[in-house]
């Protein structure tokens, strides 16, 4: 019975010795794998950036990469990223509630709204500038096209506001007419100086 006990003791003594030999090898393998993975990830960012417009901030937000992205001229402006800023010089004085296409319920000031401070705010995209709305330019670029707003009363409000903004690009306001229906119809079609047809489904 002494032999098995001696064998167990010998195995127990030799176990730490074997671990000491294998531990450094395991650490080296893990270190090599970690370094290789970091190199592959770093290389992929630069390769993708060369192939096409890609915003690494959507995956990782590295500070040193953010500055390079903002200064990159080939990156398209993302108008959905930004914030509202106060700018009293940005008022659109030519757009009033006298537009004939606005429903009476959407005429806030005429209905008693006292606060008009919302006119002093504009949207500022992150890292780029948003050009001011140019009705004549939009009408020209969308000639013979069609713009459709589909939705509820909120979409209808946006459509009427957009129509009034487009009307600024028409020199002869009498050329703006309604082809069919009336302001309360579910479907309206307006012709603007034979340049643009706008259809609303609300």
* Per-residue confidence band for 47, with pLDDT thresholds at 50, 70 and 90: low
Do 108 and 65 have their domain in common? Answer: no
Range of the structural domain that residue 177 is part of? 82-201
- pLDDT greater than 90 at residue 195: no
Cβ contact 190:181 at 8 Å: no
For the chain, the domain total comes to: 2
Cβ contact 159:202 at 8 Å: yes
Per-residue model confidence (pLDDT) at position 28: 73
Cβ contact 142:194 at 8 Å: no
What average pLDDT does the segment 27-37 reach? 78
Do 94 and 191 have their domain in common? Answer: yes
* Maximum average pLDDT range among 50-54, 122-126, 196-200: 122-126
Residue at a domain's end among 44, 70, 96: 70
Let me know if residue 1 belongs to a domain.
no
Let me know if residue 6 belongs to a domain.
no
Q: Pick 70 or 194 by higher pLDDT.
A: 70
Residue at a domain's end among 48, 70, 92: 70
**Local structure of residue 61 (DSSP, 8 states):** -
Do 123 and 186 have their domain in common? Answer: yes
Angstrom distance (rounded) from CA 69 to CA 66? 5
pTM, whole model, 2 decimals?
Answer: 0.50
- pLDDT greater than 80 at residue 131: yes
């Amino acid at each position: 019975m002494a032999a098995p006990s001696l064998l167990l003791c010998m195995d127990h003594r030799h176990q730490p010795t074997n671990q000491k030999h294998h531990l450094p090898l395991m650490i080296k393998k893990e270190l090599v794998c970690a370094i290789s993975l970091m190199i592959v990830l770093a290389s992929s960012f630069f390769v993708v950036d060369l192939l096409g417009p890609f915003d690494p901030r959507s995956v990782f937000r590295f500070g040193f990469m953010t500055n390079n992205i903002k200064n990159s001229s080939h990156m398209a402006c993302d108008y959905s990223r930004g914030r509202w800023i106060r700018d009293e010089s940005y008022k659109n004085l030519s757009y009033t509630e006298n537009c004939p296409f606005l429903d009476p319920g959407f005429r806030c000031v005429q209905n008693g709204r006292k606060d008009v401070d919302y006119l002093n705010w504009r949207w500022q995209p992150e890292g780029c500038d948003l050009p001011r709305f140019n009705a004549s330019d939009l009408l020209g670029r969308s000639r013979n096209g069609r713009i459709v707003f589909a939705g509820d009363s909120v979409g209808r409000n946006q459509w009427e506001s957009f129509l009034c903004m487009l009307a600024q690009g028409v020199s002869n306001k009498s050329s703006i007419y309604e082809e069919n229906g009336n302001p309360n119809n579910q479907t309206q079609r307006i012709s603007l100086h034979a340049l643009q047809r706008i259809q609303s489904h609300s």
